Structure formats: C-alpha cells, structure tokens
Amino acid sequence: MGGCEDSKTKWTSIAEPREAENFNISPILGSEMKGELNLRSVENILSMVLSPEAVPSMEWVNETLVREFVFLGFSSLAGLQRLLFVVFLLVYLFTLGTNAVIIFTIVLDRALHTPMYFFLAVLSCSETCYTFVIVPKMLVDLLAQKKTISFLGCAIQMFTFLFLGCSHSFLLAAMGYDRYVAICNPLRYTVLMGHGVCVGLVAAACFCGFTVAQIITSMVFHLPFHSSNQLHHFFCDISPVLKVASHHTHFCQIVIITLCALVLVIPLLLILVSYVHIISAILQFPSTLGSLSTAKLRMLTSPNPRKYGIKSLSSPKLQNAQFTTNKGEVVTI
C-alpha cells in the first residue's frame, strides 16, 4: 500500500507541473493572438484611411448636397432693381401683347389660314412660352430679398427653355422651306404644304428640341453639386450651372457644345439653302418678266393663283412656263 501511495504521489507530482504549464501558457497565447488581431485591425483601418481611393469617398460624405440655387445676376445693381423691374415688366407686357395680337388675328381671320401664317402663329406661341419660363421668375427676384430656386425647379427651367429655344430654331428652318415652295413651286404649294405637312414639320421641330433639351439637362443635373450653389446669372442657363458643379468631364462639355452648335448650324444651313434656291429662281426669270405689272407678278407668286383668274400652268416652276387665264389668254414667262 505504501508503494501504491508513493506511486500515486509520484504521478500527481509529475502531472501537476504539466497542468501548471498548460494553465500558465494558454493566457499568454491568448493575449498574443489578441494583440496580433488588434494590430491587424489597426493596419486595415490605416490602409483604408490612407488609400487614395478612399479619400474622395470620405470627402464626399462630409460634403452637403445642394438643394437650391441662389441667383446673383443683379446683385451688383441693388439700387436699380426697382427701375429694372419696371422696365422689364413693360417690355414683357409689350411682347405678350404683340404675340397675342398676332395669334388672335391669325385664328380669327380665315383668309390667314395658310401655311405661312400657321407657322407664324406657332412661332408666336413658342416665343410667348419661352419668355414665360424666364421673365416672371426674374421679375419676382428683382423685388425679393432671397433670390433662390429649388434644384428641381432649376432643372425644369433649363429643360423648358432649351426645348422651346431649340424648337424655335427648327421652326425658322420650316418657315424657310415654306417660302421656298411658295416661290419656286407656286401651283404645287397647296399640295406640298398641306395641313398634314405643316403639322408634321412643327412636330419634327418639337421632337428635335425635346431630344436636345432632354440630353443636355440630364447630363448637367447628373453632375455632383456640393461646392457652391451661387449662380452668377438670373436664370438656370447651362454655363452658370456647370460652373458650380463639383467636377465635370471634358466629354460632358464636348457633347453639350456639339449639340448647341448643331441646333444653331443645321437650321441656319437649311434657311440658307432655301433662300439660295429662291434667289437663283428669281435671277433666272427672263427679262420679259420686267414688263409685267406688279399685279401680274403678285398673281404668279401667289400661293393660290386661281383666285387671280389663272386656269392652268404648263410647268410647276416659274421658269419657261405658260399659264392660261379664264379669258383664254396665254402668257409665257
């Protein structure tokens, strides 16, 4: 028994140091693991903070979004704003009055229901709406202390005036084509410029204006606005809004400039082509045309020559054509 007890004590004495070793080593290992994890987490945080990709995102979070814009267009003329209000109001009312007279005169007088006056009425409506988008807000701001507009209101104003302005340009090209048909093809004028054709030309002009306005407005207002909200203008034009954007690419600028140039150049070229054909047709008239009276010349170039007694015309153009009147007279031009 004594040998058993001695052996037991011997085993316990041998086991105790091992338990002690296991007990003392595990906390040390745990602290080392914890220290290593903490060191790695600190390194990860520092790498995220110091990485160039993360720096813009942190600045982005710290910046505030622009919810409204402030107009500074007439800030340098604080003492003259009431006088400017009166002047601009009178000019605006005069513009509205003249356009209203043109529209109502064309609508009420059936003799003016022709393609030329139809385009003129549409043009007057477009000009009225164009001024209505910009001038009333400008007049209010001249008398207000806080000259602001919301972010959405600025986008709507830019889209509307771009849509109306671009449509206005293409309507001028349609009017040039109308004059070309009226002078170079007088007897086919009512066929070539029927009501459906006129409505189609107006619709095409509006579609072009809508497309250009939608592209430019979406490109401008998808840019980030964080730095400033002060516009050095009296309405939301393209250039002042681009200047307050936080950053924008050269591609965006190139697309906007290209679209604006096309809106100006394409209608201008169409108008020039129309009037070059008109001038060349007039210059090709024979010298005998000079002996015709002013009344006969008006009769030949009229959109409706039958009301002057013309029965038939041998050619739809004015060059080398013969027309027969109701009295049986044959006139060669």
pLDDT value of residue 309: 52
153 and 195 co-located in one domain = yes
User: Of 283, 298, 319, at which residue does a domain stop?
Assistant: 283
Domain count, the chain: 2
| Nearest of 168, 84, 91 to residue 129 by alpha carbon | 168
pLDDT of 187: 84
Give the pLDDT of residue 14.
Answer: 41
Residues of the chain below pLDDT 50? 1-37, 39, 42-43, 45-62, 287-293, 308, 310-314, 316-320, 322, 333
Q: What is the pLDDT of residue 104?
A: 94
Q: Are residues 77 and 219 in the same domain?
A: yes
Per the confidence metrics, is the pTM higher than 0.85? no
**Number of neighbouring beta carbons within 10 Å of residue 231:** 23
| Six-digit token string for 288 | 């005998």
User: Does 91 share its domain with 190?
Assistant: yes
Estimate the crossing angle of helix 54-62 against helix 2-50, to 10 degrees.
70
| Rounded distance between C-alpha atoms, residue 264 and residue 124, angstroms | 19
Residue 25 lies in a domain: no
| Region class of 45: left (phi > 0), else alpha (psi between -120 and 50), else beta | alpha
Q: Summarize pLDDT for 185-220 with one digit per residue, the tens.
A: 888 898 899 999 999 999 999 999 999 999 999 999
- The domain of 114 spans 68-283
Same domain, yes or no: 96 and 244 = yes
pLDDT, residue 79, reads 78
Do 173 and 266 touch, CB atoms closer than 8 A?
A: yes
Query: How confident is the model at residue 34, as a pLDDT?
Result: 46
Contact between 241 and 253 (Cβ < 8 Å): no
Q: Within the chain, where are the H helices?
A: 2-50, 54-62, 81-108, 115-143, 151-184, 189-192, 195-221, 238-243, 250-283, 294-300
For residues 168 and 315, membership in a common domain is answered with no
